[in-house]
Amino acid sequence: MAADTSDVTAGFGQVSRTAGRVFRALLLAATLFGIVFVTILLLYVANDAIQPLTADPGWHLTFFLTLVVPTAGVGAFVYRRSQAAFQTGMLALGFVAVALLFSGGAAMLFIDIVRPLTWLAVVVALAVPAAIAVGVTAYDQRLPFLARFGVTTAAFYLSLFGLPGPLGTVASWLSQLGLPIPLGATLGSVRLVPSVVDVVSGVPVAPAPWLMLVATVGGPIGVVAGHAVARDRGRRARVAASSAFLAVVAVAGVVGPAVGVTPVPAVVVAAVGVVPPAAYAADVAVNAPRERVGLAVPATVIVGSLVGAGIVSVVGLAGPQSWVDWAFLTSAHSTNAESAGFYPSIGGSILLMLSVAVLAFPVGVGAAIYLEEYAPDNWLTRVIDVNISNLAGVPSVVYGLLGFGLFVTHLNRPAGTVLIGGATLGLLILPIIIISAREAIRSVPEAQRAASDGMGATKWQTVRNVVLPRSFSGILTGTILALGRAIGETAPLIMIGAPTIKFSLPTQVSETVTAMPLQVYAWSSLYATPDFYTKVVPAGVVVLVTVLLAMNSVAIVLRNKYQSHD
């Protein structure tokens, strides 16, 4: 035994902490390496874009006194009283910023892309069959499943497309290919039964556009917000809260013109940018008395900014000569660097993200559910499994080629359109959505599935009632992060022939589109004046990164909420 001990001691050698410390320092360096470099770069870029040093010292002083000092004071006070309240306050602050950002995007949609009447028509066309579907479900016991399914599908089809609709177009294609279809050739062009969309958008007299938006955008958001605030205080409280939020939206439409904002954007900004954070604040104030004090943080920031802005404009202190200004956000590209703007690219990116989400989300989540819940464990599913992971690593330029080959060359669609861009980027992030959705589905505890099975639920009922509700926020988180990758992609858009520069926004999915990274690339490569690559490009990068961070922050909040439920 004694010999063993001495052997061990000899093998252990001299004891020193130096090696461990060096190792630890190296690990820390590895952790910080990327973060530090990217942060420094972004600071440089933001400095070039915003030029904070060009502001009057008085401007800095004013905001330091009205914004920075009070916020620091109030923040420290709240933090010392309750950390939970401080967190709530910061969340509310982030909520305000992100909601206002998103409301800008939504306002853009209704100003330049979708006519409010068309939007109303689509909303009505979706609401009518949805109501029919709910009505049919009431006859759950008496009608067989196929009958209910048939009625619901027919109602949606009639409402959205009318007769013969896209099926008629398909029939006329097939008859051109020589298939014997009665009346085939004419089906593509005639219209037997108009759709609800056609009927509504064809009415000769309609409410003012902003009133339509109050009803169709403010209504649903108001109802959701009202329910969140009223919780289970009964019907009367819910109606009162919802009406109050709806009233805020309607008032914005009336007051907007008085302060120089046209009614349509005023209504959208109120509905998307003001009501949700207000509902969050009201919810905290009413339902979480212990965290109520946290709301002082966003209140201080908002009041401080407004007071600071007021003082600065009254005294006449010049702010920084930022390249990211209102004109940059709302005008199109120009050969002259001073008047070059980002508007068509911002709108294009939003449209692309919407079409990517619409196309890739159902497919990706469907695949994830199948692979996790239904797929048998055999060699085929294992091959699929491995290849989905491989697909996630395929370079984006290859997806661009795929998109061009498939949609433009093979299916002969016009190049560079919203639809093709969305489909190509959708293919690109599909594997990421599948992988993250599978992760979320897998994290639903097996015991819950077993409990559902034990109560006699079918597989479908378990998936619908247990698995999907439990994993939904996780799935959403993964999807948003995947969209964050898609919004920064340039190569696939170049490959599918998206125009380098656009002067206007597309109003249909079959029109061409450009995106933020593509525009930044064009500015940095095709326009050689120093103002372009030292000022306009950083300004574009700042906007792109801000949008990306806003999207990611939504994902992070969702994930935290989701983890705290476990």
Interface with another protein (CB under 8 A): 115, 117, 203-209, 211, 234-236, 332-336, 414-416, 497, 499-504, 511-512, 522, 525-530, 533
Q: Minimum Å distance from CB 406 to another protein? A: 16
Q: Minimum Å distance from CB 495 to another protein? A: 11
Three-class secondary structure of residue 306 per DSSP: helix
Q: Minimum Å distance from CB 180 to another protein? A: 33
CA 500 to chain CA centroid, Å, is 24
Q: Tokens standing for 382? A: 């294992």
Our CB check for another protein shows the closer of 370 and 533 to be 533
| Distance separating alpha carbons of residues 103 and 481, to the nearest angstrom | 20
Our CB check for another protein shows the closer of 211 and 327 to be 211
Using CB atoms within 10 Å of the CB of residue 549, give its burial: 0 to 12 exposed, 13 to 18 middle, 19+ buried.
Answer: middle
Q: Minimum Å distance from CB 334 to another protein? A: 6
Taking a C-beta distance cutoff of 8 angstroms, is the pair 51, 531 a contact?
no
Our CB check for another protein shows the closer of 325 and 511 to be 511
**Residue 70: which of 298, 309, 316 has the closest Cα?**
298
Our CB check for another protein shows the closer of 123 and 357 to be 123
Question: How many CB atoms within 10 Å of residue 524?
Answer: 15
| Distance separating alpha carbons of residues 451 and 158, to the nearest angstrom | 41
Q: Minimum Å distance from CB 526 to another protein? A: 6
**Residue 398: which of 298, 488, 491 has the closest Cα?**
491
**What letter does residue 408 receive in the DSSP assignment?**
I
Our CB check for another protein shows the closer of 78 and 337 to be 337
Three-class secondary structure of residue 490 per DSSP: coil
| Distance separating alpha carbons of residues 566 and 561, to the nearest angstrom | 9
**Residue 425: which of 499, 524, 494 has the closest Cα?**
494
Our CB check for another protein shows the closer of 81 and 413 to be 413
* Angle in degrees, CA 369, 350, 257, rounded to 5: 130
Q: Minimum Å distance from CB 405 to another protein? A: 12
Three-class secondary structure of residue 193 per DSSP: strand
Our CB check for another protein shows the closer of 263 and 474 to be 263
343-369 vs 537-565: helix axis angle to the nearest 10? 30
Q: Minimum Å distance from CB 400 to another protein? A: 13
Q: Minimum Å distance from CB 188 to another protein? A: 23
**Residue 558: which of 490, 491, 489, 481 has the closest Cα?**
481
Three-class secondary structure of residue 531 per DSSP: helix
Q: Minimum Å distance from CB 117 to another protein? A: 6
Q: Minimum Å distance from CB 22 to another protein? A: 38
Our CB check for another protein shows the closer of 82 and 334 to be 334
Q: Minimum Å distance from CB 512 to another protein? A: 5
Q: Which stretches of 256-369 are DSSP H helices?
A: 263-268, 275-287, 296-315, 326-330, 343-369
Question: Is the peptide bond between 164 and the residue preceding it cis, with omega within 30 degrees of 0?
Answer: yes
Taking a C-beta distance cutoff of 8 angstroms, is the pair 531, 335 a contact?
no
Our CB check for another protein shows the closer of 201 and 471 to be 201
The residue type at 337: A
Our CB check for another protein shows the closer of 234 and 445 to be 234
Phi-psi bin for 260: left (phi > 0), alpha (psi -120 to 50), beta? left
Taking a C-beta distance cutoff of 8 angstroms, is the pair 355, 419 a contact?
yes
Q: Minimum Å distance from CB 75 to another protein? A: 42
Our CB check for another protein shows the closer of 117 and 251 to be 117
